[in-house]
Every structure is written in C-alpha cells, then in structure tokens.
C-alpha cells in the first residue's frame, strides 16, 4: 500500500503543515505542481464542490512518477461574513484580488457600535476550510471553521489574505471557540490574525482543523 500523498498547492506553509500532521501517522507528502492555467476555479456555491472539482482536475495532470495507490490532497478556504449573507465565501480569492480588505471594510462601514460585544455580533464572520483527499477512487473530506468578526480597520503585519481584518473569538482549554465577550485560555487580545504571530494563529487555524479532521479518518500507514 502506498503512503504517498500529493498535495496540490503552491503555498509552502500549507505544505509544511500537511507534512507535519501526515508524517505522524506514517504518510509521506509530495507537492503536486501544475500549470495554474490547467486548474480553473469552478463556479459553485460551496467549498466542498470546489474541492471535489479541483481533485478531479488534478487527476488529469498527475505526474509521471505518480504510482498506483498514491493519493491526492487539495484544500480550499473562504471568508464568510454574516451581514453580507456569506459573501465573499467561495469567491474569497477573486474578491480579495479585486476589492481587497478595504472593500470588505467599506461594505461593513455602517455596522458599528460603541459596545465591543455588540460590534462583534454586528460584524460576525467565519473562516471555513475544506480538505479533500482522493484515495483509491474515493474522496475523503475534512472541514474546519474559525468563528470571529471583522475588525473596524486593517491591522497589517503577519499573515495574508483577509488576516489583517479578521479577529477570532477566544478559545477554551480544549480549543473550542467561545462567544463574543467571553475570555478564554487562548486569545489574540483583540488583534486580527495580521497582528499576531504564526504560533498563536495556528491555535485558531481553520486550515489546521480541516487537515486534522481529514487525517483522523485515515488509518495509520506505519
């Protein structure tokens, strides 16, 4: 039985994270690099459909050293803002490249309150990630969610994408998210993902949760 997982990603951070989790249960990770023009973003309403589409597209461009029993991994994520009816959602990448974080802040500029808890509720949002693994003709799915709210202004620094405008809710000792106004064991102390280091961000990461959910469904390859 092969223990090789080909990860379709151009993000080295994602690759390292997957290697860290999969190596613990005996799997080896290789980066699947393809011409971006060969992988299109499907027009779909949910991340699972997008991830499955990318899996099927990847199967058409597998490398010559792809062996029987090898697996393919893809991961897709988006920001869902409640006041915008889930926008930008599956179109997060495109929206960020067009209107950017400043555009999202403008769309929410009328939603504010002097009370921090009320403001957080008015501007509630969540990151969601879906990890999909193709194995022997079947697709295994993992999901991860990070709830929080959109900040009043961008906080540049670390991270990428929507990190500068997203503040996650605190987490309890078991990494479960709390509600606005509740203080937990892990907190960014009102800072966005763009204002904290990668170590604390990993505690909240929707991508990490999706990968763990997926990998918990895999048998050990050791």
pLDDT tens digits, residue range 166-201?
A: 999 999 999 999 999 999 999 999 999 999 988 888
Q: Closest Cα to residue 135, out of 197, 196, 218?
A: 218
DSSP annotation of 39 reads S
**Runs of H (alpha helix) within 89-204:** 92-98, 100-107, 116-122, 198-204
Query: Which CATH number is correct for 4-215, 3.30.420.10, 3.90.226.10, 3.50.50.60, 3.90.950.10?
Result: 3.90.950.10
Q: Catalytic amino acids?
A: 76
Range 58-66 average pLDDT? 88
pLDDT tens digits, residue range 47-61?
A: 999 999 999 988 988
pLDDT of residue 221: 64
3-state helix, strand, coil in the chain (%, to 5): 35, 25, 40
* pTM of the full structure: 0.87
């Amino acid at each position: 039985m092969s223990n090789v997982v080909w990860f379709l990603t151009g993000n080295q951070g994602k690759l390292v994270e997957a290697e860290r989790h999969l190596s613990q249960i005996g799997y080896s990770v290789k980066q699947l690099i393809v011409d971006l023009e060969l992988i299109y973003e499907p027009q779909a309403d949910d991340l699972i459909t997008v991830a499955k589409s990318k899996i099927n597209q990847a199967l058409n461009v597998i490398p010559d050293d792809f062996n029987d029993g090898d697996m393919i991994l893809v991961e897709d994520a988006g920001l869902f803002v409640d006041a915008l009816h889930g926008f930008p959602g599956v179109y997060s990448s495109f929206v960020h490249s067009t209107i950017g974080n400043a555009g999202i802040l403008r769309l929410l500029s009328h939603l504010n309150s002097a009370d921090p808890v009320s403001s957080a509720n008015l501007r509630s949002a969540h990151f969601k990630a879906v990890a999909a693994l193709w194995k022997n003709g079947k697709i295994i799915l993992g999901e991860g969610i990070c709830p929080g709210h959109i900040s009043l202004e961008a906080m540049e620094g670390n991270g990428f994408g929507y990190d500068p405008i997203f503040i996650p809710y605190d987490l309890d000792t078991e990494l479960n998210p709390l509600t606005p106004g509740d203080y937990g064991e892990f907190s960014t102390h009102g800072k966005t993902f763009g204002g904290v280091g990668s170590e604390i961000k990993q505690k909240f990461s929707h991508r990490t949760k999706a990968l763990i959910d997926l990998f918990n469904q895999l048998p050990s390859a050791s």
